[in-house]
Amino acid sequence: MKYILTLTTLFVIKTAFVQTKLPDFLQGRWKMENKEVYEHWDRLNDQAMKGFSYSIKNGQVKVSEYLNIVRNSKSIIYTATVLNQNQGKEIEFKMTKADDIWVFENPLHDFPQKIVYQKISGNEIIVELSGSGQKKFSYKMIKQNPGDIQKDTTISNANYDKALAERLGADAYGMKGYLLVVLKTGPNKTTDKDLISESFRGHLANINRLVDEGKLIVAGPFGKNDNQYRGIFILNNVKTAEEAKELLQTDPAIANGLLEIEIYNWYGSAALPEYLPFSDKVWKQQP
């Protein structure tokens, strides 16, 4: 009975973790109350958020640290890379509590050992940093309206095109999340030439269909290698690995086991899809 109870408890804990969403309330730009100190957060996908802290002095933006919140198979991890500290290494903090109060802890770090984000309202949060003993401080941050480009002092790029960035789903760095698919030799070792030929004709046709639907923006083969890697896809506007797996079953070469796939989250330029109209002007013959 004790063994069954333990398994049930672990299942409940695991299920609770799987259902825990990332702290979406952090998305956007936040200003420390009474100071020109800011945090900016963007959600890349269901597994990752990216942010940075900065200050503004005499109209100049100075970044102080880069931040990430990433869900892996076991936990949710907050990482901070503080410029000119820790030899440029990321410091990890494990999520120990989530809801309107998010707690991240690393008892082995000197300071802070605990980082807390507490949602007060849709426009206010309290951030608390604490260490061993009584060392602790906290501050309120207020969410900032996006404003127009003339008033947005976080913009340091003279070429910034707000409308284009929004259309492409770019974050503050001009980046966004994609899914990278590695195509490998599949388990089906058939010598049926008709099946192989038909499957790979369908493979190419499916690539063109996914491009037309805006779901596929990069596809290409690898050269000969020892890892049985055959090629890559970069998927756009596909939110999860599960959605990607279902989508790629429309590829006959994958569905028939001639190819198999590995899927990874990938972070790249949001402008990547913009090359596609030009790609249709440089080919002379279909492969």
Residues 113 and 224 in one domain: no
Residues 27 and 145 in one domain: yes
How would you class 66 by CB atoms within 10 Å of its CB: exposed for 0-12, middle for 13-18, buried for 19 or more? middle
How confident is the model over 86-106, as a mean pLDDT? 91
Q: What is the CATH number of the domain that holds 69?
A: 2.40.128
Return d(Cα 218, Cα 216) in angstroms, integer.
6
pLDDT of residue 259: 97
CB atoms within 10 A of CB 35: 11
pLDDT of residue 269: 93
Confidence of residue 105 (pLDDT cuts 50, 70, 90): very high
Q: Please identify, among 124, 156, 188, the residue that sits at the C-terminal boundary of a domain.
A: 156
Return d(Cα 138, Cα 82) in angstroms, integer.
18
How would you class 158 by CB atoms within 10 Å of its CB: exposed for 0-12, middle for 13-18, buried for 19 or more? exposed
Is 80 domain-assigned?
yes
Is 167 domain-assigned?
no
What tokens does 256 get? 């028939």
Across the chain, the runs of DSSP E, i.e. the strands, are 28-32, 37-45, 48-57, 60-71, 76-82, 91-97, 101-105, 114-121, 124-130, 136-143, 175-185, 216-221, 229-235, 259-269
Residues 36 and 144 in one domain: yes
Residues 88 and 116 in one domain: yes
Residues 231 and 94 in one domain: no
Q: Does residue 157 carry a pLDDT above 90?
A: no
| Domain span including residue 116 | 2-156
Is 243 domain-assigned?
yes
5-14 pLDDT, tens digit each: 444 444 444 4
Confidence of residue 152 (pLDDT cuts 50, 70, 90): low
Q: Does residue 158 carry a pLDDT above 80?
A: no
234-244 pLDDT, tens digit each: 999 998 999 99
Average pLDDT over the chain reads: 87
Q: Does residue 265 carry a pLDDT above 60?
A: yes
pLDDT of residue 146: 67
Residues 20 and 108 in one domain: yes
Q: Does residue 210 carry a pLDDT above 60?
A: yes
Q: Does residue 15 carry a pLDDT above 50?
A: no
To the nearest 10°, report the CA torsion of 66, 117, 156, 180.
Answer: 50
Residues 34 and 138 in one domain: yes
Residues 10 and 147 in one domain: yes
Is 171 domain-assigned?
no
Is 244 domain-assigned?
yes
Q: Please identify, among 93, 127, 156, the residue that sits at the C-terminal boundary of a domain.
A: 156
Confidence of residue 4 (pLDDT cuts 50, 70, 90): very low
Residues 127 and 186 in one domain: no
What's the total number of domains in the chain? 2
Q: Does residue 148 carry a pLDDT above 50?
A: no
How would you class 159 by CB atoms within 10 Å of its CB: exposed for 0-12, middle for 13-18, buried for 19 or more? exposed
Grouping H, G, I as helix, E, B as strand and the rest as coil, residue 217 is strand
Q: Does residue 30 carry a pLDDT above 60?
A: yes
Return d(Cα 126, Cα 117) in angstroms, integer.
6
Which backbone phi and psi does 31 adopt, to 5 degrees? Answer: -120, 130
Place of tokens 């503004």: 56
How confident is the model over 18-42, as a mean pLDDT? 88
Q: Please identify, among 156, 186, 205, the residue that sits at the C-terminal boundary of a domain.
A: 156
Which stretch of DSSP H or E encloses residue 23? none
Q: What percent of the chain has pLDDT over 70?
A: 89
Residues 12 and 146 in one domain: yes
Confidence of residue 155 (pLDDT cuts 50, 70, 90): low
How confident is the model over 186-213, as a mean pLDDT? 95
